[in-house]
Amino acid sequence: MSGSYWLKTGHRTRYPKLGQDIDVDVAVVGAGIAGILTAYHLVQEGKKVALFERFRIINGTTGNTTAKLSAQHGLIYQDLIQRYGKDRAGAYYKANMDGIEAIKQIDLLLDLGSLVENETVYAYTTDPAKVPSFKREIEAYRELGIRGEYLEETPLHWRIEAAVSMQDQGILHPVEFLDGVVKAAAKKGLGVYEETLVEGLDRKGDRYVLGTRDGLKITCGHVVYGTHYPGWEKDDYYDRLHARTTQALAYETREKLFEGAHIAYDTPSVTLRTMEYFGKHYFLIGGQSHMTGDGFSDEERYERIEELAHKLFGVTGPAFKWSTHDLMTEDHMPFMGRLYPDLPNVYTITGLNAWGLANSSAGALMITDLIMGRSNPYVEMYDPFRKIQPLAKDKEKERSSSTVSKVEQVTVETLGPDRQTVIERDGKRIGVYKDPQGKVHYMDLACTHMGCPLGLNDGDGTWDCPCHGSRFDKYGKVIYGPAMTDLKKVDPS
């Protein structure tokens, strides 16, 4: 049951590990949607491109998404107008619509079997106190020319207080779609390398040299970090990103349960969509968003979603369960563009705020333009070093969407097989995992990225970093960056 619906049902072509030094026009690090689409567009432009992934392609946030291809990123447009004015708010909508259209066109061009579907998306609430926010949002739509409606009912089967819809959006199977994109680009010369950890960045005149964990060199004219968190940093600037986790479940059904893709701005929040792939029907329900590694029970959060799914649809026994991990920015717009102002030809796509599909596509188009020497209207808007105009609500701390218990800490002696706990020795937090054979493994719970204290995720059986979203498996092995090194083993005696 554990694992993403997309990764469990989708097909991913295997690619080799880098085996020798190479020289290319562009090195793209990270094979999620951001890196794959950037590499695809650059290959279409005739560039010699290599794409690198430390694990498998489409393995991280992209493989664990809810897969809504949408410019409706919550009730964001009223805030964008207040924060930056109508021009930038309108540009943000236009950039995302450009990104959506690019994905739809790739699906048609490559004849991928209509893996991308047109869909109307809905944000709704069942809380009367939130109705004014929905009315302000539809006014923002009207000011910006966004195709949408204010509604008092949706295609769902329960009473709501208010909703706003947005037309011309989409849903997709991200793994199947992107596997097809990579295969098409590889046929046109894209080099794809899995299980290749890229680290370090040296500038040699107008060229760059990247290293790999195996000691190989990648020489290139441009570098694009399409990674969850920038794969190289010279200071703590990107420390301002913070990590958020959302749980999801998928249930098999006999038929399609509802039209549209939906997200409720309630407490607790919930996201809903259906899937119709490979001759079977499913629906996805997600929610319980919270700060990653907060020390509260993710296992209970899964249970809360199961209870809600049963209440809304009468279902039991999810076929898949997983969590997704996003990096958030203060103004809820991504950091995309030049990695540092004084570092030419090195770019990043990060801080995607749980809406990475459309934004990643927009970012891939923008960075392709920059590498090709063309102007792009969204450079200033997405600039990672833009001046962020504050709003009063920015000071509110993000909280869990429901009340759950602290993760229970037990002694090593009472710890059951295949279970984890946290103990303290001389004021130091130590992670403990007792494997199915009863062997106990001890590890330092300081994240190997920047030393942040890790939290125990009892729902997924991982150690999660609350700072930048690194994740480690039960044994302390890195499964999610930006950390590049496994946890240190310790002697608890």
Give the tens place of pLDDT for each residue, 292-327: 999 899 999 999 999 999 999 999 999 999 999 999
The 10s digit of each residue's pLDDT in 45-99 is 999 999 999 999 999 999 999 999 999 999 999 999 999 999 999 999 999 999 9
Domain ranges of the chain: 5-65+175-239+332-395, 116-170+240-325, 419-480
Q: Residue 398: pLDDT above 80?
A: no
The 10s digit of each residue's pLDDT in 168-198 is 999 999 999 999 999 999 999 999 999 999 9
What is the topology classification, in CATH, of domain 116-170+240-325? D-Amino Acid Oxidase; Chain A, domain 2 (3.30.9)
Does the domain at residues 5-65+175-239+332-395 carry the CATH identifier 3.50.50.60? Answer: yes
Alpha-carbon distance values, 350 to 186, 210, 225, 242 (Å): 24, 19, 8, 11
Helix, strand counts (H, E) of the chain: 9, 24
* Angstrom distance (rounded) from CA 412 to CA 182: 46
All residues at 6 or more sequence positions from 308 whose CB lies less than 8 Å from its CB, including other chains? 268, 270, 285, 287
pLDDT at 403: 77
* Angstrom distance (rounded) from CA 447 to CA 380: 33
Do 238 and 224 contact (CB within 8 A), yes or no? Answer: no
305 is written with which tokens?
Answer: 């979603």
Q: Across all residues in the chain, what is the average pLDDT?
A: 94
| CATH superfamily to which 419-480 belongs | Rieske [2Fe-2S] iron-sulphur domain (2.102.10.10)
Radius of gyration of the chain (CA): 22
